[in-house]
Every structure is written in structure tokens, then in C-alpha cells.
């Protein structure tokens, strides 16, 4: 089960199963939201004490009303505040003195309305901390637990008990989701809305839900995660045991700040969230429908041992749609083995198509669905089965659902068929043994398939109306199975460098220091920083005149490159500030003078310190390694194809530091760069370990120096295995 984190927070259990709850501000007016909250507390089987608190009422909904929280009898652990914002601090103070463990502030009028509301919210947080009382909200919809019957919301619907917990930073979306899921066979364990999340956050609730025995899957709607590193650490410890699915609002780049480096331009807000979700094993989805479709499939399980899916159907068109969606979801449809085809031929129509998908034609009977699903589950060629039914006039959909349900939890046993592939023992329950493979069904239609789908849900078989839905849900099972397998390998570890590498490296002329305040460091200023972290670079030196450039070039060795050095110029190529493949001193001197003249014409007034004379790196694979400091998650590392291709393809992968070697390699494998380094069309494999080493050293640099906001190593030229990599150009942004 979940390995609990150190007990630094009080329990959140009172928000779901308190011994008693006080509704402060309860109204006798059925039109008021506070009346709805009290009614919900009483209407769904909650067995704890419920106390309406209102000094101007004597009785509400048959319960005696109390003038204040101090007057309520024991037991009471939770208060629901529905009073004006200005009154909330005094009421919360009284709850703290009364010894309550938790408070839900449904009232609005806090941070969301401006500075005055923010001050009120901070006062609530101070009071809650003073009394060691946990606080959900303010400006939220409340919580509910379908298993205990507690419902502190004013939402009309109460979900049926089930295995899915829902956490939302939006209260409004919860009511719509409860209405939408009603009648769809989706049961919930707990709901919690966070509102302004002054105290209890989505990460706190993840910890609580990890320990809830009624929760098998956690789903969340998030708009922002404030403590990003803690979210990763907590979620990563949960996801090997319980899947977490997230829909993230605000995925566009509209709000991304303008930045000057390649890394900054590519590493938008969603890149950080996607990297964090990947590292934590969290599955991100794009729509609310997918959120609950996938949750349902994961709640029912089991997980597939691989990605090979068999589709069995009575209609070819939907099966083709399912096949496309399965491939897009990362699943595969291998052909049906000959021995399984021979078995299928014994009970299907002579014209049935028995490869994958298995199309039994429109007249397929329930018994044929049962036999086919069981036979496909029995085959070692498949890890899961997706049956599709399009209702026909002579076929009973309910009987088909019953047949699939019988086959889904079992497979043909050794006595079910003889070695000839023909039926042996009596077909029925005795002919099965457990398969441990998932079945996800599609019953196309509306009214005619409602009862069959309800039956399948009762049998813990996820079923959907459209084949693409079923295929994507099957893909979620495959994704989570893959996540569980990988998380054990993605150990988080600090880069193993010795103290000499970690300490700043100096020379006689220029000690390594980072200037205070905002600054942009070009290659000349940033090179010592990379050297301090053991990142190999071509030999280079700063020249302030043409003659000095020629002498330095001779010392470094030809051919060389010249690069303009100016604090006012970050992109050298845009102003003609680069000269390449210079073969002798005369060429270097001439290029130096021409470059200075050219840059002065294109950027008049720019301060020019000279030109960097650098050794020309031998040709190799060009990658980019970068870092942008994300406000929520910290150092966000980037790697992918570099050089001229970085802006053209924008094909990069991201991770949040720190991370270990296995995850570094997985990061590379997500891009074409990983495939290039592995060797294409007979080329020798490149030095992948050298690339991973550079990524991890850049990550460590960022962790050690919070003032470094961006790093751009582009290109990182990579050579054949064992021959290393060179950081040919580097830029940094300090903040």
C-alpha cells in the first residue's frame, strides 16, 4: 500500500468522516445555499451529529438550531462556514477555541476580490495555524464522501458509492460533473473542492486519498500547482499503488512570458506540468470525458501485461475506428494466431473475418461473443480484449452483455477444448479459469444499450458508447501499466560529482563569479560556469584586437571560429557576429576586423569587448541541452535536436530536476535525438552517456544556483560512443 510520508500535517479525515459537523450560517430558507448544505448533510446516510448554527433561528429541518459554535454539544469535529467574508475570522477563531479539527469556508469574498479579501484570507490561515486546525477553501463548494454519506456541498446530486475520488480547484465544475456522471455507472468515493486553497492543497488531498481504502483511482482538475516539487514527490509515491489522472486547465501558450533563449521560448508553462506529471507517473488527459472514461477503466482493471489488444465485433466499421484509436493510444493489434483462428472457426459464420479484428458479422449471437472473448483471452498473443456490439434486430444486447461478462473474468481452461480445437467439456462456468486480462467493451447506441452497459458496470467491466472511447480507455490501462513498471527505475539522485567539480573553477585572469541581479551571460562569461561543472568545451580565449586574435588562434590550433563578445548582443548570428573555419592567422585577423566593423554598423552603440577565439569542434550530432527555472516546479531541463534544427522541429523533451540516470535516458528516448544517438542507417552509436552526463550537470548547476534562470547549451556536439561531447556554445540568463 502507499508508503506514507513523514507526518508533518494533521489528518484530513474530518473533512470526510467527522464525528459531527456544524453548519454555521444555516438558513431555514430553502432558496439559500446554506439551507442546501444542511439538507445534504442530512439526506445521504451520514451517521454523525449535524448541528445547524444560526442565532436567529430556533429549528431548521427538524433540528434544534444553536446560536454559536460554543453552544453546540459534542461530538463536533468539522465546521462548514457560510457567513459573510468579514465575519469568517471571528467565527473561525471560535471554532478553534471549541477544539474543531477542520473547517470548510464556502463563503467567497477573499483573495479572488482583491487586496482586502487577500488580507482576510491570510487572517483565516493564521487562525487555523494557531489552533492546528485544517482549512479547506475559502471560496469553495465543500466536500463529500459517498461511503460515509457526508455531503457538505450545495450540489443537488449525490453520487453513488464507488472507487473514484475527485479533487478539483474549481467548485463550479463539480456540480456539472456530478450531473453528467449520474446514470453512467460511475461511482465515487470522495469529492473535494479547494477554492482558493489557502491551507489544504491538492497535494495534501492526494496524501489523504492515498490512505483511503475506498479510493482506487484519483482524478483531479487543476488550474495551478503552487508547491510543484512537493507535488512530484507525493504523487510519485502514490502512483505505483493508485493511478492519478489529471486534467490541466490553461494549456495554451497565451500567458507564457517572453524570453530570449531557445530554452525559454520552448519551455512554456505546460512543458513544466507535463514533465512533472511524467516524472510523478501522473496520467494527463485532455477532456473531462476522458478523465472519467479512463478512471473507470483503471478502477475496474486488471492491468494488461503488454500492449497487444484483440478486437472482436459484429460490425467492421467500428472495429476499424477502434483500431486507429488503439494505435494512437500506444496499443497494438497483432494478428490472431492460426491455432486461435482455427478455434474461432468452429463456432463463427463461415465468412467471418478471423484475423484481428475478429469480425463475426452482423448476426453474431451472444454465445459466439462469449466463446470468442474467452478464446481471445486464452491466447498468449493478446494482453486484452475489446468487444464491440452494434445492436441488430435479431440480437439481444442484454444477452450479449451477460455473455461478455461471463467470459471477461475468466478464460477457457484446459478441459474446455481438446487438442483438436473442438469443444470438449460442457460449455459454461466449469469451462473457465481466471485470465487476469482486462476487457473494455463498446456497445454502440443509446436507449437500447443502457441496460446492457449498466450490467457490464455492475460486473466491473468498463463499457462505452463509441469505439474511440473504449480504445482510449484501453490505452490508459496500457499507459498506467507502463508507468508502474518504470517508476521503480526512475530513482531521484543527486549528480555524483566530487567537491572539486562542484566548486567553482578559477584561472589567473577571471575567477568564476555570477554577477548580482538580472543579467545575460554570453559564451565568454558562461564558459567558466560550465567548466566548473566538468562540462567539456572547445578551447577558447578572448581577443581584444586582430593581432591578439591571430596569436591566440595559433596557440589554440587551426581551424578556429570567431564569435563577437558583447553584453548587448545575445544572438550573435543575427548581427553577423560569427566567423567559422578560419585556417590561418591572416584569415583570423581579417575576419576580426570585418566582424567588428559589421557588428558596429548593425548594432551601433553596442559595447564590444572583443571576439572569442574558439577551436572548431569536429562535426558530430548536434543537440540542445537547456534549463528554464519554472516558478512552480523549479529547474526544468530540456534536451533534443539542436543547432539549426531546434527552432525548425521544436522536438524536445523536458524533466524537472533532480532526476536520475534512467529518467535522463528516457527523456532522450522521447525525441528524435535519442533515435539519432542510437545509430541510424548504419551509423555508429553516439556517446549517449556523455549527453546524459551533460544534462545532469546542467541540472545540478541549476539546483546549486537559484539565480540562474535560463541556460542554453546549443549546440552540444556529440561524438561516437566513448568519445564524449563538446558544449560548443552556451548562454545564460540570471535573475
- Which pLDDT score is estimated for 259? 35
What's the pTM value of the predicted model, to 2 decimals?
A: 0.87
- Which pLDDT score is estimated for 262? 40
Tell me yes or no: is domain 13-255+264-297 CATH 3.40.50.300: no
Cβ-based neighbours of 587, under 8 Å, separated by 6 or more: none
CA atoms within 13 A on the CB side of 397: 24
d(CA 629, CA 637): 9
> Do residues 166 and 190 lie in contact, with contact meaning Cβ atoms separated by under 8 Å?
yes
Q: Where in the chain is the domain with CATH 3.40.50.261?
A: 13-255+264-297, 302-487
Nearest to 21 by CA among 106, 113, 117: 106
CATH of 621-734, one of 3.30.470.20, 3.30.420.140, 3.30.420.40, 1.25.40.10: 3.30.470.20
Q: Where in the chain is the domain with CATH 3.30.470.20?
A: 621-734
- Which pLDDT score is estimated for 676? 86
- Which pLDDT score is estimated for 31? 93
Q: Where in the chain is the domain with CATH 3.30.1490.20?
A: 539-615
Quick one: angle between helices 397-408 and 366-378, nearest 10?
Answer: 20
What is the number of other CB atoms lying within 10 angstroms of the CB of residue 31? 7
Q: Tens digits of per-residue pLDDT, 582-608?
A: 999 999 999 999 999 999 999 998 999
Q: Tens digits of per-residue pLDDT, 552-588?
A: 999 999 999 999 999 888 788 889 999 999 999 999 9
**In Å, what is the CA distance from 433 to each residue of 417, 440, 453, 548, 568?**
13, 19, 24, 83, 74
CATH code of 302-487, in short, is 3.40.50.261
d(CA 140, CA 194): 6
Q: Work out the end-to-end distance of the chain between its first and last CA atoms, rounded to an integer number of angstroms.
A: 43
> Do residues 404 and 395 lie in contact, with contact meaning Cβ atoms separated by under 8 Å?
no
- Which pLDDT score is estimated for 495? 43
Q: What is the domain class of 539-615 according to CATH? A: alpha beta
d(CA 708, CA 735): 6
What is the number of other CB atoms lying within 10 angstroms of the CB of residue 486? 15
- Which pLDDT score is estimated for 630? 92
- Which pLDDT score is estimated for 573? 84
- Which pLDDT score is estimated for 644? 63
What stretches in the chain show pLDDT beneath 50?
1-10, 254-267, 410-434, 490-511
Cα 346 off chain centre by: 46
Amino acid at each position: 500500500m502507499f508508503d506514507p510520508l513523514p507526518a508533518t500535517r494533521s489528518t484530513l479525515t474530518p473533512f470526510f468522516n467527522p464525528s459531527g459537523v456544524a453548519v454555521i450560517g444555516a438558513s431555514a430558507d430553502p432558496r439559500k445555499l446554506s439551507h442546501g448544505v444542511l439538507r445534504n448533510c442530512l439526506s445521504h446516510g451520514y451517521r454523525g451529529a449535524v448541528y445547524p448554527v444560526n442565532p436567529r433561528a430556533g429549528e431548521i429541518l427538524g433540528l434544534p438550531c444553536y446560536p454559536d459554535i460554543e453552544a453546540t454539544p459534542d461530538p463536533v469535529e468539522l465546521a462548514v462556514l457560510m457567513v459573510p467574508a468579514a465575519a469568517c475570522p471571528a467565527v473561525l477563531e471560535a471554532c478553534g477555541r471549541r477544539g474543531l479539527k477542520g473547517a470548510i469556508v464556502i463563503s467567497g469574498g477573499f483573495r479572488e476580490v482583491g487586496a482586502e479579501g487577500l488580507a482576510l484570507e491570510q487572517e483565516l490561515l493564521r487562525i487555523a495555524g494557531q489552533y492546528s486546525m485544517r482549512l479547506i477553501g475559502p471560496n469553495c463548494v465543500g466536500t463529500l464522501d459517498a461511503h460515509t454519506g457526508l455531503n457538505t456541498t450545495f450540489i443537488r446530486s449525490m453520487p453513488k458509492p464507488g472507487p473514484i475520488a475527485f479533487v478539483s480547484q474549481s467548485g463550479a465544475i463539480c456540480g456539472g460533473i456530478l450531473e453528467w456522471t449520474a446514470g453512467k455507472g460511475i461511482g465515487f468515493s470522495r469529492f473535494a473542492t479547494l477554492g482558493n486553497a489557502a491551507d489544504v492543497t491538492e497535494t495534501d488531498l492526494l496524501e489523504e486519498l492515498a490512505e483511503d481504502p475506498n479510493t482506487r483511482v484519483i482524478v483531479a482538475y487543476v488550474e495551478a500547482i503552487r508547491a510543484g516539487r512537493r507535488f512530484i514527490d507525493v504523487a510519485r509515491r502514490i502512483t505505483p499503488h493508485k493511478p492519478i489522472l489529471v486534467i490541466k486547465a490553461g494549456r495554451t501558450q497565451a500567458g507564457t512570458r517572453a524570453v530570449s533563449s531557445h530554452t525559454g521560448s520552448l519551455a512554456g508553462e505546460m512543458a513544466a506540468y507535463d514533465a512533472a506529471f511524467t516524472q510523478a507517473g501522473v496520467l494527463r488527459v485532455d477532456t473531462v470525458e476522458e478523465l472519467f472514461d479512463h478512471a473507470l477503466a483503471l478502477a475496474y482493471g486488471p492491468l494488461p501485461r503488454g500492449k497487444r489488444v484483440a478486437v472482436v465485433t459484429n460490425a467492421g466499421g467500428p472495429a476499424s475506428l477502434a483500431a486507429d484509436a488503439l494505435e494512437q493510444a500506444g496499443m497494438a493489434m497483432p494478428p490472431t494466431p492460426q491455432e486461435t483462428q482455427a478455434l474461432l472457426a468452429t463456432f463463427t459464420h463461415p465468412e467471418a473475418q478471423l484475423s484481428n479484428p475478429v469480425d463475426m458479422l452482423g448476426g453474431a449471437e451472444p454465445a459466439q461473443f462469449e466463446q470468442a472473448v474467452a478464446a481471445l483471452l486464452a491466447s498468449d498473443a493478446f494482453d486484452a480484449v475489446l468487444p464491440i456490439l452494434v445492436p441488430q434486430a435479431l440480437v439481444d444486447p442484454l444477452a450479449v452483455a451477460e455473455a461478455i461478462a461471463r467470459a471477461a473474468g475468466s478464460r477457457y481452461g484446459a478441459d474446455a477444448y481438446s487438442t483438436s480445437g473442438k469443444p470438449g467439456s460442457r460449455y459454461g462456468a466449469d469451462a473457465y479459469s481466471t485470465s487476469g486480462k482486462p476487457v473494455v467493451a463498446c456497445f454502440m447506441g443509446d436507449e437500447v444499450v443502457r441496460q446492457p452497459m449498466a450490467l457490464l458496470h455492475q460486473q466491473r467491466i468498463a463499457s462505452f458508447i463509441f469505439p474511440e472511447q473504449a480504445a482510449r480507455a484501453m490505452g490508459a490501462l496500457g499507459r498506467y501499466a507502463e508507468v508502474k513498471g518504470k517508476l521503480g527505475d526512475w530513482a531521484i539522485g543527486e549528480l555524483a560529482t566530487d567537491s572539486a567539480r562542484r566548486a567553482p573553477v578559477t584561472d589567473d585572469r577571471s575567477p568564476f563569479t555570477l554577477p548580482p541581479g538580472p543579467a545575460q551571460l554570453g559564451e565568454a562569461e558562461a564558459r567558466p560556469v560550465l567548466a566548473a561543472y566538468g562540462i567539456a568545451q572547445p578551447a577558447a580565449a578572448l581577443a581584444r584586437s586582430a593581432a591578439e586574435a591571430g596569436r591566440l588562434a595559433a596557440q589554440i590550433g587551426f581551424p578556429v571560429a570567431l564569435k563577437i563578445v558583447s553584453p548587448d548582443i545575445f544572438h550573435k548570428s543575427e548581427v553577423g557576429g560569427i566567423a567559422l573555419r578560419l585556417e590561418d592567422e591572416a584569415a583570423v585577423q581579417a575576419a576580426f576586423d570585418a566582424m567588428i566593423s559589421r557588428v558596429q554598423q548593425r548594432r551601433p552603440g553596442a559595447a564590444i569587448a572583443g571576439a572569442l577565439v574558439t577551436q572548431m569542434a569536429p562535426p558530430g550530432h548536434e543537440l540542445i541541452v537547456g534549463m528554464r527555472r519554472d516558478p512552480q516546479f523549479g529547474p526544468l531541463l530540456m534536451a533534443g535536436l539542436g543547432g539549426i534544427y531546434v527552432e525548425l522541429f521544436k522536438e524536445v523533451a523536458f524533466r524537472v530536476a533532480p532526476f536520475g540516470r534512467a529518467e535522463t535516458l528516457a527523456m532522450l528516448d522521447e525525441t528524435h535525438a535519442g533515435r539519432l544517438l542510437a545509430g541510424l542507417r548504419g551509423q555508429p552509436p553516439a556517446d549517449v552517456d556523455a549527453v546524459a552526463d551533460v544534462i545532469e550537470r546542467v541540472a545540478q548547476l541549476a539546483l546549486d544556483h537559484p539565480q540562474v534562470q535560463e541556460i542554453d547549451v546549443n549546440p552540444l556536439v556529440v561524438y561516437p560512443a566513448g568519445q564524449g561531447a563538446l558544449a560548443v556554445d552556451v548562454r545564460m540568463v540570471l535573475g
